[in-house]
Every structure is written in C-alpha cells, then in structure tokens.
Structure 1
Amino acid sequence: MSRVLIVGAGLTGSLCACLLRRELQSKVHIEVWDKARGAGGRMSTSRPPDSLSHSADLGAQYVTATSAYAQSHHSLYSELQSCGVLQPLDAPIEGLKHKDGSKDYMTPLGMGSLVKHFLSQSGADLSLERHVTGVFLRGASWEVQRTAGDSELFDAVVLTMPVPQILQLQGDLGRLLSVQQQQQLDGVSYSSRFAVALFFPPDAVFSFSWGARYVSSNRCICYISNEPGKRNADSPGLGPSLVVHTSVPFGVEHLEQDKEEVQPIILKELYQLLPDLPQPISIKCHKWRYSQVLTSVPDCPGHMTVHDQPPLVLAGDAFVHSNFDGCVESALSVLPALTAALPR
C-alpha cells in the first residue's frame, strides 16, 4: 500500500485526498498534515472560546461559479448541494459586481464545512499542528521532517502550502527544481490583509439588512459580512457575528505589526462606518500574510511536478488562480500525476 502525504489541510489538499481515495480506494494510505490547530486553511471557520452557536468565516466568504466552471465542475457542485454543504446565496450583497452567468453560493455551516466534507470523504489520517520543515529524497521514498526533529517516510508527497512557505523548506526541493521552475515560483505573489471577527450577545440586533457589504470609501476596511444574514437569516442557533476584511494597501502597510496592535485601528474604523453596532462579547483578529494569489505560475497545468519517481508535486491556487474553482482545478490536475506514478 502506497503512503501518500498531503501537506496543507485547505481546499486543494482536502480535495486531493478525496479524489485520490475515490480513484485508488484501499490501495493507498493517505495522511494530511497541517501546521494550524484546525483544518480549512483560507477556508477556515472560526468560533470564539466556549461557544457552540457563534461561528465566522475569517477567510473565503462565499463561492462564485462562472457559467464555464458551473459546467466543467458540475458533478462537484451537484455533490456539495445535494449534501447541503453549498446553497444558493440569496442574501443581498451591497457593492457586488457580477459577471454575466455567474452564480453565488454560501455555506450554511461556514466555509470550513467544504474542507471537512472532502476530508471526511477521503478517509485520510488528519494530523494538525504538524509543521513541515524539510523534504529529503531517500531512494524510492521521501523523508518529511517536521518541527521537534521527527520525520516519516512516504511514497509520494503533495505540497499545497503557499509558495513562499514551500521555498523555505529544507532538504532536496531546491536542488531538484529546474531553473525555470525556480523562476516561476519566485514570481508568485500574494495580497495580504487582516480579518476581524466580532461575536455578539445572542439578543444583539443589527440595524442593517444586507448579508455583506463591499466598502469603497474607506482606506482600512473593504468588506463587512453579517454572518447569519450572509448564510441564512433564519438559521436556528447561529449567534450574531460580523466579519471585517481590510484593504490590501492597509494589510501591506501594517503587515509586520502584531495583530494586537492593528485590531484597535480596524475596530475604530468599523464603528465609524457602523456607529449603531452593539458591543461584542468576543473578538478574533487574524493576519492573512498570504491572502489571495496576485501573480500565479504562468501557463501551468494546475500543479508543478518537481520529481517523478517517487513523486513530489506542488499544488494550490498559485498554480491556477485564487478562488474555489482554482483550487478545484489544481486538485483535479494532481490526480493523474499521482495515479500514474503509484501502483494500482
């Protein structure tokens, strides 16, 4: 049985694991590692301490399917809707500019439920708080090292972390990359931003009716989401919460500051925009150093094969484009690259 490691429990990694399981079934042992304390990556859903009713999407907010992707990824969209993971986004979104034929979807249980669905389908062994530090070629296997000096051997490795984190890995990766591949990876760039989730008492009432709002007149804040309103205003048991995303220029300006220093600045701007907003009972601030891909690897099939046998593959939205369907495209492209190299 081949042992496959997927590093990164975000959308690309979880879907890779799911597709690989469906293709090879019991012929493969799949492990998914992530350095965070929870799965989801940039599609994670957060909760405040000691709360089961409140939740907020600090990263991706909803899924927009173009007419082309709705057709090419039809089976996936159908699966997610039939399972109740995706539902049409009916809440009003102020300032949203639509392309013809596109359709928006929301996740009643939060964006993290997308990743959890695929991980559940994959049957993979999920290990959190496992920070990979190096990848070394050992004959017909890969030795993957993590913090604390521990290491394990795998027959195939898929790296789905942000490209700058991939390039920081110790071991044989840098030696195996071609000059062209190295240049392509060096050219990948990301936007940066902060996200703040505010959780309110159960009886808190918002004075606005929108599910989300794009802000164009503020140097700090570019987007605000009314989480219950965005998902479904009638969702039972979903506590009132708000998510704020900062603009990219603001994120870049304050990128090297601690989030505790930046949070008060964001909250001050928020209460100027929404002066009637109640006081929260809990606040969570997150710094997205790698938010969305600005410059992806050009002319790429959705992944980059660094080594054929044993396979070492790089994947993620940096090899396509930065949205739900970009991650799906990447995961779909990885599948034949892996199955061609693994025993069937």
Structure 2
Amino acid sequence: MMKTAMEKLVVVGAGITGASSAALLKKILPDGAVVKILDKSRGTGGRMSTSRCSNGKSATVDLGAQYISINLHYAKVHQSIHEELISQGLLKASTCVMEGDKFGGEDILHYVAPAGISSLVKHFVKQAGAEVAYEEHVTKVDIENKKVKLTTLKGQEELCDGVILTMPVPQILQLDGSIRQLIDSQPKVKENLENVSYSMRFAVGLFYDPGVTLSYPWAVKYFRDNPCVCYIAIDDKKRGTESDSVGPSVVIHTSVPFGMKHLEEDKDSVKDIIMKHVKELLPDIPEPAEVKGHKWRYSQIHKSYVNEPGCVVLSQTPPIILAGDAFSHSNLDGCLTSSSSVRDAFINCTGLDQPTNRL
C-alpha cells in the first residue's frame, strides 16, 4: 500500500480517548507532522475533569471519573501503560476506605490519581506533543480534495489530512457537512450510531477552607437507597493528599434515575435539591466556602455501538475515524482499547508503518 501524505492530524475531543489516540498516532506519523486537538470546553479532561475552587485555598475535586478500576484481563492487556502511569506517580493503588463499593471484586484493583483524574489526560496530551485549542466547538466536517475541513461554531476552519472524532455519538450525528452524506451512505453504521445511548447525572463539588475537618470514617461512600445521591467522596482523602495548608473537597454524584428525571434542567437549578439530600444523609456536614455544579449530559455508556469495535472508519481517504467509549466501554481501559483500535485503523487507512512499541 502506498503511504498517504500525513502532515496534519486533528483530534476532536480532549478527553482520555482523544488524548491517548493522539499519543499513539504521534508515534507513527512522519517527522514534522502536526497533531492538533480541538475541544469545545475550557480545559483538558472531558469526563475525566478536575475542578479547582476560585480562591485556590481548597483541594481540587474530580467531578467526573473518580478512580481507576482495573481487572486482571486489562492488567495484562494494558500492562505497559498502567506501569508507566504508576511509575510517574500519576496513578497509585487506593488504600482509602470505600463503603458500599459497587465495583469491587477479587479480580479488580482500584487506583487513584493524586494530582486529579485530569492529570492522566494531560499526560497523553504531552506525549503527543499536541497543540490544544479550547472553546472550539466543531460543527461541520467536510471532505475537500482528499483533505478534511473542520468548521467551528466561531467560524474557524482547520484543514487536515485526517481526523479522529471522539465526542459523544449524538454530537457526531448533529454535525453538518459531507460527514452527513458519509453516514447516510452507510445505513447499518447510521443505525448502530443512532442506537447508542448514554446515562445522565449531575455532580456537585464542595470546597472548604483550610482548617475545616470532615470527620467521616470513609473517603468514598455509595448510597443505594437515596432517590437523588448515589455517591459521595472526600476527594483529598480519597487520593491520600490531605494537607493542613489546603482545605478539603467533596464530590457528590447523583443517581442515573435522578439525572434522567431532571434531564432538561440546568446544573444550578438542581444544585439546591442535591444539597438538600446531602444534608439529610450527612446532617453534620459543614457549610462549604464554595459550591460548583456540573451536568453530565453524556455520563456513561448505557448502550454501546454493536459488538464494541473500538472505533468506526467512516472514510479511508482521507481518514475520518469515530472513537470513544461508545465503541468500547466507559472506563480508562475501554478508552485505551478504543485508542488502540484507532491506531490500527489509521495504519490500515494510510499505510504508515506500524510501531514496534504497542500499547
């Protein structure tokens, strides 16, 4: 196969799949090739986001993914990447008390991210040497003269030799441009994309000033019977990073049924309802210095793309590849599986050499 010229690759989505795909593809791209990541948010992480309080006096809080659970299968499959993250201090084995753990088991080990869960995504972005452009919402994808042209909500245009789209599937289906014809021309692919569904939930972060003590015997607790709250964590305690000079932080996640019930409401209108339930569950919890709410419209995969292929190639020339947990499953290893599939599909599309150091 003749190699395809590949001077610029764009990844849409600065979450873990986008970042790890960029890192893997950088290894096989020609010297001098540019990797650029576009994201509509204001920071790196996607659903692995870490939030900071406005005054900097409190610990950061993970509003999305909370910790990394690795089973024996993926401990072998992704051993090298796990070891890399652990050796660099980005992951460490969890030693905190988890009450009502829903994801435990003899074959599962939990890991925490001491610097916040978004540090994992930032690690891959750095590996990729990628330029990241924030607050760039891609709305249109076209093919012009064997190149891909991306147009953002601001009217910015990016011309590239290939694109990896890692945003949630409903957002892919909303894109304008020739990508619509590509999807329409593949009825089975379109049907499978339309059948993908996500759960939805709200999250709330509580930030406290230094000197405040949260006297609970656990760092993480699941609540099975509450109509609103399903999970509360003292984030700095969960990570093992408590400090006298920095105030503690707490994260609350709602249940999926609560999220679906309040689907059309915004994060601020629901925040007071959530806090009411928190105070019923933890009557002695101190008043926080700051409260941040977040709405995860696409929290976790409820129904994945059929057979979980890892990625879907919409176009080979130029490469347009769909990826993310929708094509695998919603955890770190699901996203790494997707990015490995992207790498293999990209090699097949372009004829670029396969790297010797596989994920």
- The answer to whether the superposition gives a TM-score over 0.5 is yes
CA distance in 2, matches of 1:116, 1:232: 21
CA distance in 2, matches of 1:176, 1:287: 31
* CA 25–110 in structure 1, closer or farther in 2 if over 3 Å, else same: farther
Contact 2:309 2:327 in 1 (8 A): yes
Contact 2:114 2:241 in 1 (8 A): no
The Cα of 1:293 is off from its aligned counterpart by: 0.3
Percent identical residues: 45
SS of the residue corresponding to residue 225 of structure 2 reads: coil
Residue 122 of structure 1 aligns with which residue?
128
* CA 235–101 in structure 1, closer or farther in 2 if over 3 Å, else same: farther
Contact 1:195 1:286 in 2 (8 A): yes
* Correspondence 1:65 to 2:70: yes
The Cα of 1:53 is off from its aligned counterpart by: 4.5
CA distance in 2, matches of 1:59, 1:231: 15
CA RMSD of aligned residues (A): 1.4
Contact 1:196 1:286 in 2 (8 A): yes
Q: Deviations over 1:110-166 (max 9, x none)?
A: 100000111011101111000001001102101100012221211001000000011
CA distance in 2, matches of 1:218, 1:233: 29
Residue 271 of structure 1 aligns with which residue?
279
- The farther-off stretch of 45-54 and 249-258 is 45-54
Which residue among 14, 17, 22 is the counterpart of 1:12? 17
* Correspondence 1:86 to 2:91: yes
Residue 112 of structure 1 aligns with which residue?
118
The Cα of 1:83 is off from its aligned counterpart by: 0.5
Runs of 4+ with deviation above 4 angstroms: 233-238
Residue 262 of structure 1 aligns with which residue?
270
Q: Deviations over 1:202-252 (max 9, x none)?
A: 111012021100001210000001111100054575530100000011101
SS of the residue corresponding to residue 170 of structure 1 reads: coil
Residue 225 of structure 1 aligns with which residue?
233
- The farther-off stretch of 138-147 and 52-61 is 52-61
Alignment of 1:331-342 (within 5 A): 331-342=339-350
Contact 1:9 1:40 in 2 (8 A): yes
Q: Unaligned 5+ residue runs, structure 2?
A: 1-5, 353-359
- The farther-off stretch of 127-136 and 250-259 is 250-259
The Cα of 1:52 is off from its aligned counterpart by: 6.0
CA distance in 2, matches of 1:247, 1:150: 38
* Correspondence 1:323 to 2:334: no
* Correspondence 1:244 to 2:249: no
* CA 235–306 in structure 1, closer or farther in 2 if over 3 Å, else same: farther
- The farther-off stretch of 259-268 and 6-15 is 259-268
Aligned pair count reads: 344
Residue 199 of structure 1 aligns with which residue?
207
The Cα of 1:102 is off from its aligned counterpart by: 1.0
Which amino acid counterpart does residue 100 of structure 2 have in structure 1? Answer: G
Q: Unaligned 5+ residue runs, structure 1?
A: none
* CA 116–25 in structure 1, closer or farther in 2 if over 3 Å, else same: farther
The Cα of 1:96 is off from its aligned counterpart by: 0.6
SS of the residue corresponding to residue 211 of structure 2 reads: coil
Residue 300 of structure 2 aligns with which residue?
292
TM-score of the pair, normalised by structure 2: 0.93
CA distance in 2, matches of 1:142, 1:245: 39
* CA 227–262 in structure 1, closer or farther in 2 if over 3 Å, else same: same
Which amino acid counterpart does residue 38 of structure 1 have in structure 2? Answer: G
CA distance in 2, matches of 1:150, 1:300: 33
CA distance in 1, matches of 2:160, 2:222: 45
Contact 1:15 1:118 in 2 (8 A): yes
SS of the residue corresponding to residue 232 of structure 2 reads: strand
CA distance in 1, matches of 2:51, 2:199: 21
